[in-house]
């Protein structure tokens, strides 16, 4: 995997994680965020 591909993939994962957190808000168990992030990805 090239550095450029790695950076694009990393950006997608971080963006998805931020979206999930914005939708759900703070204070939930990590497993909830993990499950929702898995579904989003």
pLDDT of residue 9: 97
Q: Say if CB 41 and CB 16 are below 8 A apart.
A: yes
Please give the tally of structural domains in the chain.
Answer: 1
Enclosing domain of residue 26: 3-40
- The pTM (predicted TM-score) of the whole model is 0.85
C-alpha atoms less than 13 angstroms from C-alpha of 5 in its C-beta half-sphere: 2
pLDDT in tens, 1-41: 899 999 999 999 999 999 999 999 999 999 999 999 999 99
Question: Given this model, what pLDDT does residue 37 score?
Answer: 97
pLDDT score of 11: 97
Q: What is the rounded CA–CA span in Å between residue 34 and residue 9?
A: 17
């Amino acid at each position: 995997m090239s550095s450029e591909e790695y950076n694009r993939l990393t950006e997608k994962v971080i963006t998805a994680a931020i979206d999930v957190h914005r939708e759900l808000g703070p204070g939930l168990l990590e497993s909830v965020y993990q499950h929702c992030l898995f579904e989003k990805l």
